[in-house]
A and B are shown apart, each in its own frame.
Chain A
Amino acid sequence: MRTDLISRRLFLSSVAKATVAATGGAALASCLSQHLTELPRETLLARLSELKAELKAKHGKDATVSDKGPMPDVVFGYALDLSRCVGCRRCVYACVEENNQSRDPQIHWIRVQQMDKRKGVDFAHADPYYQPEKVPEEGHFYVPVACQQCENPPCVKVCPVQATWREQDGIVVIDYDWCIGCRYCMAACPYGARHFNWSEPALPSEAFNATTHYLGNRPRPKGVVEKCTFCIQRTREGRYPACVEVCPVGSRKFGNLLDPKSEIRYIIENKRVLVLKAELNTLPKFFYFYGT
């Protein structure tokens, strides 16, 4: 059931596994997939408290690990005003702080591409490593790219173990406990949105954001893939993603695509809107627009 996050989730802890093996025998065990979509609630709760204990031991903070599911009648959409973005990269670092990315090596879920106004949106001539004294630079504009939360996500299609899927509210999530680290999704993603933990992620305890979500910003282990989740730990509580809050020029807009009175709907209906690589039919829910 896609609507109820609670009823999905998590594979058995080793204790539960042993219990099944000991008491149920092969017949019972064979009907129990350990994929989280088919797991009982108790198993999930056990895993969540296990995670909290691990985080407490590691970072000395009382963390919350939410498993909040999608809200009814909500599909999240994002819009970014290309005419306002100045390329300051505050969103990049606010995202890192909010989502507990590794600081060494640095993992960024948002990549800001500097582009040439004469060439338009053209990745072949984009520069993600621009380092001027001051932004924006004359003759340039900026295209921040993160997960486009595709309605038709190629990454989900290719995952050999169904470790990643699209939730009812449109967010494409990854179960970090299930991902085998084959990186097929990274090859399939047309937006470079997926990032791999090439080594043990380094997250200093003082930087650890203890308000986490199981499918979102809880710290990830080595060897799995991660990506933007529209700040699932915030947005499912009715808050804005961290990048929206931090943007100093108000170029980032976020809301419910199903609400006809939302700002995001107004933008889509009234502004000049584009999606990246539209020809690939990925149907992003991340829109770029020209506000002015």
Chain B
Amino acid sequence: MSSPVVQLPDAQLRPLLAAYDASVRVRRRQSFVVLACIVAAVVLSSISAEVSLGKLFANIGNFTSYFGRLLHLDSGALVISDPVEWYWGLGRWLRLLGETLLIAYVGTALGALGAFFLCFLAAANVTPRPWLRIAVRRFCELCRTVPELVFALMFVIAFGLGPMAGVLAVAIHSLGALGKLFAEVVENIDMKPVEGVHATGAPWHVAMRFGALPQTMSNFVSYALLRFEINVRGATVMGFVGAGGIGVDLIEAIRKFYYSDVSAILVLIVITVSVIDTATGYVRHRLIGLEGRHG
């Protein structure tokens, strides 16, 4: 049943084998060097980050028992056994969750509006002045590289504790991220409609409105929705620095060891984020479908 395999004579085979072995050896040596570099980096950073696997294994029981405690009420019963007791603060938490969604929505909307007006200045193909383009790009970079929470910390000083600081932090970060993405969308448009509108003698803003905007709108909305999804997640921790939303109660519950409250709030957050993800995902796929039909 064996298939006929042609065997070369030994004398012919030997140099081929030797060449193969040599090439494998070179690749092995390269992989070994890369691996050695990674191992060295791991060792150095483990020292810097105070990694101790001993501590992890000694305390890994804490991790499982922590989740165990999260799932039990103060009375010692499982949380599922008494949902009313578990969700004693449901009204307050839902209100805070609504505030979280509002922070994410208003922040995303303000950021998207800002990015909408900036992106036409930042796109290489339609920008009215090259130096303006560079300035806007650098500004967007700054806005998205500084973490949201750092902005939130500073805004809390200026605007006081509360959701306003959170909204502004989310808005500035979204402005930076969306400004870049929107500008890339504008750079990819077909320039013929813009030239057509220009040819009628229309000023720059009219050319943008009727030449560029109709081609970009569905992508803008799609990116803004994606950002909203990310911001909902980000807004859940704004409360950690006092900038409003459900994070205020969550960090208090974690710090004060109100275990069942922690699990109740976490479950609410996971459900909310999943619902928002699914809904925005559905709308975004519809939008992409729409674009496919028109273009």
| Bound together | no
Interface residue ranges, A against B (CB under 8 Å): none
Interface residue ranges, B against A (CB under 8 Å): none
